Every structure is written in C-alpha cells, then in structure tokens.
Amino acid sequence: MPLLVLLGLLAAGSNLLGGGLALVRRPPSPRALVVGLAFSGGFLLAVALLHVLPECLRLTPHALPLVLAGYFLVYVAEHAFAGHAHPGRHAPHGAHPLIGAHLDEHAASPIRQGAASAAAVGLLLHSFFDGAAIAAALAARTTLGWLTFLAVVLHKVPEGYSLASIVRGSAGSRRSAFWLAAALGGSSFAGTLATAAVARAAAGWDAALLSVACGMFLHIAATDLLPTTAHVRGLSVLTATLAGAGAVLLASLALARALP
C-alpha cells in the first residue's frame, strides 16, 4: 500500500512539473519538447504492447473488447471535449488537441475559453485513468506496476505542460493554469486510490480497468503523441522514439533483477 501511494503521488507530481515548465520565464525550446514527446510516445507504446496487453490477456477473457473500449473512450473524449481547442492553422502540423498540441503557444494563438475548459475536462478524465492504470498494474504484478508508472510519468509531464499552455493561450491567469495542472494531478491520484479500493472490494475489476487503460495508452501513444512528432524532420526525433521503446526493454531487465 505505501508503494501505491508513493507512485500515485509521484505520478500526480509529474503533472504539476509539466504545468510548471509551461509557466517558467524561459520554457523549454520547441525542439526539446518534441524530442521529449517522441521519447514518451515510444516508451508508452512499448509498455502497452509488450507488458500491459499480455497481462490483460492473462487476467481476463474480456481483455480485447475492453482495450478497444479504452481506445474509443479517448477518441470520443477528444472529439467531444477538444475538437475546437485550436485555431485551424495548427492542423497542418498534425498537432493533437490535448497532448503536445501547444508547442508554439507563444505564437499568439488565442483559444476560446469554452474550448479551453472543454480540453481541461477531457484531460482530467484521461488523467483519472492514468492513475487507475498504476494501481491496476501494481495489483497484477510489481514489475508491471513500476513499468506502467514510468510510462505514465513520462507522458504526464507533456500533459501538464499542454494543459497549462491551453489555459495561458485562452488568456487564463498563471494561477489558474497552475491550479488546473494541480487538479490534473489530483484526478490521477484519485484514480489510483479508487482503483486500489475497487481491487480490494471486487476481484476482477482491476483487470477490467487495466484493459481499458491499455486501450487508452495505445491511443495516447500511437494516435496522440507519435503523430505530433512525426512531422518534425531530423534524426533526433526518430532516435528519441526508438530510444523510448528501447528504454522499456532496459527498464524491464533492470526491474527483473532489482525486484524479487
């Protein structure tokens, strides 16, 4: 239980870290952000396909429909909540409405307040499942819990960054951007605690939640994060994506040695 709380809190903190990065006087360069997105996308995709999906298949016979449901849950949430978060001219860059979209938010692109609020709701919902995935993965196996935690933390930094940028882009104050990033972390931690409670109360439900989270991971990695970086030329993005996937192999080897 203490490990669960620790990982849940650290994951929530990475939302705040991302939000903070968007609010400092000199935010990271667009190239650094794209390389970070590429690495986190590669890592998340590899964890979902190599570790989470096989575990879901082992735990429940309903894994694949639930994975598909998780994928469409993000798809629908993004259409419902984030469809109009951007001025159209962002579209040619392949930028995604929720995560990693505001790489160039300083280019004076006003976002309507309603659209910003809708994007915030979509991200809050998504963040809840990030936290849920950590608890469900930990309930299944400790190594899986750690790998899922790493995958979540890596993409939560750009998530917090995106949300804070969206708030700033809609003329929201720095204070409200900070508090929304904090709420994103809070939603994640609530997801962790709620799933841990569900896993205790009703056996099998955590496997269902893990499967839904797996589908969400696939969408976030392969439909949100990686296409955002695909238009950027240069070896650094390609290398970062492959390094992200390769880091999963290294991390799972290291965890297998470190954990009993």
Site for Zn ion, rule CB under 5 A: 130, 159
CA-to-CA distance for 134 and 182, rounded, in angstroms?
Answer: 18
Q: How far is the CB of 217 from Zn ion (least distance, A)?
A: 8
Q: How far is the CB of 114 from Zn ion (least distance, A)?
A: 23
Q: How far is the CB of 10 from Zn ion (least distance, A)?
A: 14
| Residue 126, C-beta contacts closer than 8 angstroms, at least 6 positions apart | 74, 77, 98, 159, 216, 220
Q: How far is the CB of 231 from Zn ion (least distance, A)?
A: 22
Q: How far is the CB of 38 from Zn ion (least distance, A)?
A: 16
Distances (CA, A) of 143 to 56, 135, 137, 160, 259: 14, 12, 9, 26, 7
**Other Cβ atoms closer than 10 A to 209:** 24
Q: Closer CB to Zn ion, residue 105 or residue 130?
A: 130
Q: Closer CB to Zn ion, residue 11 or residue 140?
A: 11
In eight-state DSSP terms, residue 223 is I
Q: Closer CB to Zn ion, residue 18 or residue 172?
A: 18
- Three-state secondary structure readout of 166-195: HHHHCCCCHHHHHHHHHHHHHHHHHHHHHH
Q: Which residue is nearest to Zn ion (CB)?
A: 130
Task: Please say whether the dihedral angle defined by the alpha carbons of residues 249, 251, 253 and 255, taken in this order, is positive or negative.
Answer: negative
Q: How far is the CB of 216 from Zn ion (least distance, A)?
A: 8
Q: Closer CB to Zn ion, residue 151 or residue 196?
A: 151
Distances (CA, A) of 86 to 34, 92, 122, 193: 18, 12, 14, 33
Q: Closer CB to Zn ion, residue 193 or residue 238?
A: 193
Angle at 39 between CA 36 and CA 44, to 5 degrees: 120
Query: What is the residue whose two structure tokens read 């575990």?
Result: 55
Q: Closer CB to Zn ion, residue 185 or residue 201?
A: 185
